[in-house]
Amino acid sequence: MSLNDAQQRAVETTEGPVLIVAGAGAGKTRVITHRILNLIKKGVAPHSILAITFTNKSAKEMRERVGTLLKEDKDLNIPISFNERPFMSTFHALGVHIIKENAQLLGLTRHFTIYDRADSRRAIKESMVQSSIDPKKFDPGTVLNMISRAKGDGISYLEYTDRARDNMEELVAQVWEKYDSILAKEKALDFDDLLLKTMTLLRDHLDLRKRYGSIWKYIHIDEYQDTNHVQYQIAKYLAESHHNICVVGDADQNIYSWRGATIENILNFEKDYPEAIVITLEKNYRSTKTILKAANNIIEKNLIRKKKTLYTDNEHGEKISLIVAYTEIEEARNIAEISRALIDSGTSPRSMAVLYRTNFQSRVLEESFIKKNVPYQLIGVRFFERKEVKDVLSYVKAALNRESWADIGRVINVPIRGIGKATVAKIMSKREDLLPLGMQAKISQFWKLLDDIRHEIEEKKPSEVIKFIIQETGIENQLRSGDTEDEERLLNVQELVSVAAQYDNFGTDTIEPAGQSVPTYVGTAEPKGFAGIEALLENAALATDQDELQKDKDAVKLMTVHASKGLEFDHVFISGLEQDLFPLKHMDEGEISKSEEEEERRLFYVALTRAKKKVYLSYTVLRTVYGAQRVNLPSEFIEDIEKDLLDDRPPAKPTGAKAIFIDF
């Protein structure tokens, strides 16, 4: 009764390939969860259902909703002991699951290390030094991005080497070879390998494809427009034997081409599966008529899309406000003042968000929010990337994988034990016996500490393991005796204990509090005592910006438009709406291409459709970028919105200068 006709059809069409074109705010999560419920009510075993999405937050929400639907459905006769659930996770978590079950085929153990971005950058830098390439002359981040993009396109190191067309690509190939050697030596995979290795396992082993195809007979892929080539291939391999694949997405919200996502995957779905049924969800349940009309104004100018027009039964709502400021400082002050006024009138801070195109815009916003006493939360500073948190987790990883030299090197002198880099180099090269006896004793104590941690992991709950590490390593004592910043770091490692507690009963709860599905192991059995700590490490390695969102933190959210994908707020500020900033034109490029232009338009469409009640558009006359002030034109996007949708009151005149002198 809660579904509209199009949603009902999507829920009831369970056999064969289905493409659900779901507009922003059209209730796609509701459709996916009710579809899963419908499959189970039809007699499909829950473990035969696979649902993949892109963020831990979305996967957790999906699991919770399915759990609630199963619990509350009066037509289901479920035994009290029933706790079987579909496998619902992100693509990367699915990759970890498949790789762990088949680790031996890749020369790994179940406890392989997952490199985060910082680990990868360190290894790239080391690889460049080994290749006699100056990291100051060639940015390691750029090299890493090129390797990452190639892996996302399904290209191996050997293929990349054969295809190298210029000096830069030859340099990247040279570094990639050394990088792979470091990963292999440390029994590690980077973020992109989790997908690439999964694809190659399924591609090269027909028995694995058949095995997983027989387990997961009904496959759901959310945000299909954001899949890259490797994710597309994984989904295709898993659906190969039965074609029961339901993909949900919206070409108008494809905003990740810079990390390999290709809009062609959703546009060509009917070519891949000619028998596919296409269902379009156009009714929006989120935004006002005014906001939707503006969003339709924007997106209808794009040519690369499946045509649809969002509509709603919601009220017309307030007009869109246009705020003009003289500089970015004034813009930030205006946004902070409006936010403060909204809060004073009873609006909850958590129902508000300020969106911007690039991260550098957040600094002045933060300063103004502090001055105006507006509570805010900056999305993008990840908990698991804080040094002290990474130190504790590196102890766990080093205890599980004694070949993870990245983790051993990170913590062997944390807290300070007088063990320097030269000593670590000797240990890594198996020359520990050449060290002085006193140093050998220190190293021996460190190895014993790792053995003790390993024993704790085998016998204790994750929260107890983290407590043990904090206390026994000396990290707690060091932070307690430090300054104010150390006090904050101590609070962070104590918070890690609370995070770990969510995994204390992992594998036994009906719905995992950590938001991860309990894996159904096909081959290797899960060792006793390891499930919870492994799940914690996975969650830490695969965390995204959105995982920083705290439901109980009543604060205005500051984030990039990319980070806002999938979220919604009553009041949304879109700042920096200036030509060449949004839409963005990179400093070292000429005119942007047609495809880049359409993606920028899609990005603004995503920003608009995050809002439920009210949108504020803001731009400045002058903005300091890369240390230089530049004069701005308003974004073309503002001109694309029908004038009667904008607040007919004239925007406040910019202040802060009596005259502008421009030297031509």
- Of residues 28, 178, 319, 372, which has the active-site annotation? 28
Whether 60 sits among the annotated catalytic residues: the reply is no
Whether 386 sits among the annotated catalytic residues: the reply is no
Q: Are residues 594 and 375 in contact, defined by beta-carbon separation less than 8 angstroms?
A: no
- Of residues 101, 186, 222, 547, which has the active-site annotation? 222
- Of residues 8, 13, 14, 29, which has the active-site annotation? 29
Sequence-separated (6 or more) residues with CB below 8 Å from residue 35: 10, 11, 14, 220, 246
Q: Which two tokens stand for residue 516?
A: 């991860």
Kindly state the helix (H) or strand (E) to which residue 151 belongs, with its residue range: helix 140-152
Whether 318 sits among the annotated catalytic residues: the reply is no
DSSP state of 165: -
**Can you list the alpha helix ranges (DSSP code H) found in 280-352?**
289-299, 328-344
**Crossing angle of helices 531-541/462-472, nearest 10°?**
70
Quote the CA–CA distance of 457 and 42 in Å, as a whole number: 41
Whether 222 sits among the annotated catalytic residues: the reply is yes
Quote the CA–CA distance of 112 and 400 in Å, as a whole number: 8
Quote the CA–CA distance of 339 and 347 in Å, as a whole number: 9
- Of residues 101, 223, 250, 547, which has the active-site annotation? 223
DSSP state of 634: B
Quote the CA–CA distance of 660 and 641 in Å, as a whole number: 29
Quote the CA–CA distance of 139 and 164 in Å, as a whole number: 19
Whether 358 sits among the annotated catalytic residues: the reply is no
Quote the CA–CA distance of 560 and 492 in Å, as a whole number: 24
Whether 610 sits among the annotated catalytic residues: the reply is yes
Tokens 């390999």 appear where? 260
- Of residues 63, 217, 602, 610, which has the active-site annotation? 610
Quote the CA–CA distance of 652 and 325 in Å, as a whole number: 8
Give the total residue count for the chain. 664
Question: Three-state DSSP class for 482?
Answer: coil
Residue 78 dihedral angles phi and psi, to the nearest 5°: -100, 130
Question: Three-state DSSP class for 19?
Answer: strand
- Of residues 7, 253, 327, 502, which has the active-site annotation? 253
What positions carry a catalytic annotation?
Answer: 28-29, 222-223, 253, 610
